[in-house]
Amino acid sequence: LYNKGDLKINELIEKILTTSGNITVVIKNLEKEGLIQKSADPKDKRSCIISLTDKGKQYIETILPKHIDNIRSIFEVLSNEEKRVLKDILKKFKTL
């Protein structure tokens, strides 16, 4: 949501490769914490749109630098060639 903006629940499910059962619990918990909000889709009343709240944006901006540092340290074990191969593989998954 931080990068892609508001998403319908089914779009969110596709982006993070989860199931509707799992995402329902996650959405409910994030909504209770005030990190996201759920609203009816004006184009389709059966569908909901999930939005990041200001509190959610602030939370992400607080934890993102540490997360990026953690990811960088994890990938330090890979050679440049291994990183390139992994990047190519992940790009293939992205097109699915």
Q: Where are the domains of the chain?
A: 7-94
Say yes or no: domain 7-94 is CATH 1.10.10.10. yes
Per-residue pLDDT, 67:
95
Question: Hey, is 5 helix, strand or coil?
Answer: coil
Determine contact, residues 1/50, Cβ cutoff 8 Å. Answer: yes
- Is 66 in contact with 46 (CB distance < 8 Å)? no
Grade residue 17 by pLDDT with cuts at 50, 70 and 90: confident
If you search the block for the tokens 């989860």, which residue do you land on?
A: 18
At 43, list the tokens.
């184009």
Structure confidence by residue, pLDDT tens digits, 33-59: 999 999 998 988 888 999 999 999 999
β-strand partners of 44: 41
Task: Determine the Cα–Cα distance for residues 24 and 18; give it in Å rounded to an integer.
Answer: 10
